[in-house]
Chains A and B, each alone.
Chain A
Amino acid sequence: MERMPKWADVALVPLMSLMLAFAISALVIAAIGENPWAAIRTMVTGALGSTYGWGYTLYYTTNFLFTGLAVSVAFHAGLFNIGGEGQAALGGLGVALCCLFIPWPHWSLALIAATLSGAAFGAAWAALPAWLQARRGSHIVITTIMFNFIGASLLNYLLVNVLKPQGSMDPATARFAPEVRLPGLHEVLAVAGIPFSKATPVNVTLLVGLAACVAVWALIWRTRLGYEIRAFGKSEKAAVYAGIRPVRITMVAMLISGGLAGMMAINNVMGEAERLVMNSVEGAGFIGIAVALMGRGHPFGVLLAALLFGFLYQGGAELALFTSIPRELIVVIQALVILFTGALDDLVRRPVAALFRLTRKETR
């Protein structure tokens, strides 16, 4: 396996897994009596064939970018943070409180404050599981997933009993002031003279997400802290021997991870809904795990994987709109992609690695 060239590891194997997933999806679509070719065409044109489609695709991409980066950072420290869902939900609370109760004069100030507030709330929600892992050895997988439910309950309570405007049926906060409305991507692109659909939720948060990609790359591969995180993730014993403190790295990695997940809320809460609704995260925290796995923990890979899942979400919506393919099948397609790129990774990797070993021997 070691001898597989890097390009095969990062590009060929995921691509082949993806092809397998789509091939099986096509079989399933054919099995229920629909035309798989037409279905794929609907998905591609619906998600990528117009700036409208791109707008939605990029909106979902932005969500998955943050949660994918969150999972990646924890991964590098050998920690499996599956609490992105709860951390992003709490991030939403941070963003909502910041936007509701402070009269911001301009959206740019509000964006900075909301980003910090969302990150702080998300990080705080990751802090306790991190501390339990670092000090008590309580497994992070168990504690973070439990914190997802605690987070959902907390938000449920706050929205129904505290933050909901009186007399409203909807368990959601009031709408934020118009001053904190984030400009859509079409307004950003209009500055450069590029026309873009106005009716989509994609907004400046996408740029924040891209900046976060660069920042995470710099952190992991260009700083001392990043080196410590990676060293700790590769081998705890060796890291300790080199003078790296496990408690500190566990805490720091999880705080960064939770903070990134929390930052997702500026996209869905501040950018899209402009209020905090119940269940605002909607599984983006879990999709982030698949995105991080597929992206091999590298920010550029995460970006591509997030784009793929954004495409699946928007393409799936178009499929539901314009064909009689039931929405459950779209979940099946997404599940197949996750299955093949995540769980069944070795299914493709082993034969490919064997093939490369074979060709190496022949050339020698």
Chain B
Amino acid sequence: MTLMKSLSGATAALALMAGAAAADPALVIDLGGKFDKSFNEAAWNGAERWARETGGTYKEIEMQNEAQREQFVRRMAETGANPVVVLGFQNMATLDAVAPDYPETKFVLIDAVVDLPNVRSVVFAEHEGSYLVGMMAALASKTGTVSFVGGMDVPLIRKFACGYAQGVKAVKPDATVIMNMTGTTPAAWNDPVKGGELTKAQIAQGSDVVYAAAGGTGIGVLQAAADGGILSIGVDSNQNHLHPGKVLTSMMKRVDNAVYDAFKAGTALETGVVSMNLASGGVGYALDENNAPLVSDEMKAAVDAAAAKIMSGEIVVHDYTTDDTCPAATF
């Protein structure tokens, strides 16, 4: 036991020295796994892009349960990794507890704000991006009914849904927005079959554009929409290529850029709140050769005009999470 202890102590010291020599950045991936075709995967892509471009190496770790939140972030800080990028709003409390113990380490929290001197909080204006794709949905819809499939009924997803509904109503005030959530357990983030069933039910109710904000479940939503002959809207990454000519657009949430920027800044990272909104290119809608035939010039002009107004502050899209209410939808 004592030998074991001194051995592990020695490796820890070695790791610390190695860390001091060349501080590798670290990525702590939240529950849900790396390859979720969505949020986590986007973050991982950003880290990979940094590694390819700079030839650097980084540490990564995937959490498996709640008790590991503090454990893993602490371990990463102890190995000398700097900066440590932590994904997910669930880790607010984690960083509140861990960050003060490692004042020399810079932490980056994505999707929530922690007010500590060594933490950079990156928050995305998902409501602004969702507003724009909501406008496009309303403009593309012939039936006047559009729909939304969320993962779990959590505040973050309501923020997406609320922005979407506002965008739809801005174009067609009498349009109907059908909203469904996939489930009430974390399995809801990776249930393409249920996502597809919900989409079919929405098609039966007259929806002809569906927006998915449901992680891996969204794959099933996009598939069912393509099979059912209606348009769909992807989320987080550019998902236009999944069904060319059948995905109207994707609401881009550039988590990859947030991770890439943090890794690139390295130990010189500036802390504080970083807002990834329309103005800073943190959110937006995707336009490429796969959806070009679907997006008419008028549609593009209308959306770009609205985007300019949001950036200038002329249009204020309500953020559900500020007061837990939504003017355009009820939950």
Contacts and interface: CB of A to CB of B under 8 A. Distances in A.
Contacts of A320: 61-62, 64
| Chain B interface bracket (under 10, 10 to 19, 20 to 34, 35 or more) | 35 or more
Interface stretch (B65-73, B127-135, B219-227, B241-249): B65-73
A160 B154 contact: yes
A275 interface: yes
Contact of B66 (A45, A169, A280): A280
Interface string B64-95: 11111011101100000000000001101100
Contact of A321 (B72, B111, B152): B72
A313 B322 CA distance: 38
Given A60-B67, A278-B154, A167 B112 contact: no
Contact of A152 (B75, B90, B185, B321): B185
Contact of B89 (A45, A169, A316): A169
A260 B8 CA distance: 38
A282 B187 CA distance: 11
A169 B67 contact: no
| Chain A interface bracket (under 10, 10 to 19, 20 to 34, 35 or more) | 35 or more
A160 B90 contact: no
A50 B6 CA distance: 10
Contacts of B93: 170, 172, 175, 273, 275
A164 B155 contact: yes
Contacts of A212: none
Nearest to A44: B4
Contacts of A330: 64
B65 A273 contact: no
A311 interface: no
B61 A50 contact: no
B184 interface: yes
B67 A327 contact: no
B298 interface: no
A153 B75 contact: no
B184 A149 contact: yes
Interface in B213-257: none
B4 A166 contact: no
B186 interface: yes
A268 interface: yes
Nearest to A175: B93
A156 interface: yes
B322 A167 contact: yes
Interface of A: 45, 49-50, 56, 59-60, 149, 152-153, 155-157, 160-161, 164, 166-172, 175, 199, 201, 268, 272-273, 275, 277-280, 282-283, 313, 316-317, 320-321, 327, 330
Interface of B: 1, 4-5, 8, 33, 61-62, 64-68, 70-72, 74-75, 89-90, 92-93, 111-112, 152-156, 158, 184-186, 321-324, 331
**Among all A-B residue pairs, the 3 with the closest Cβ atoms:** A156-B184, A169-B89, A153-B184
21 contacts: A50-B5, A149-B185, A152-B184, A156-B153, A160-B155, A164-B155, A169-B89, A169-B321, A170-B90, A170-B155, A171-B155, A201-B67, A201-B70, A268-B66, A272-B67, A279-B66, A283-B65, A317-B71, A321-B72, A327-B33, A327-B62
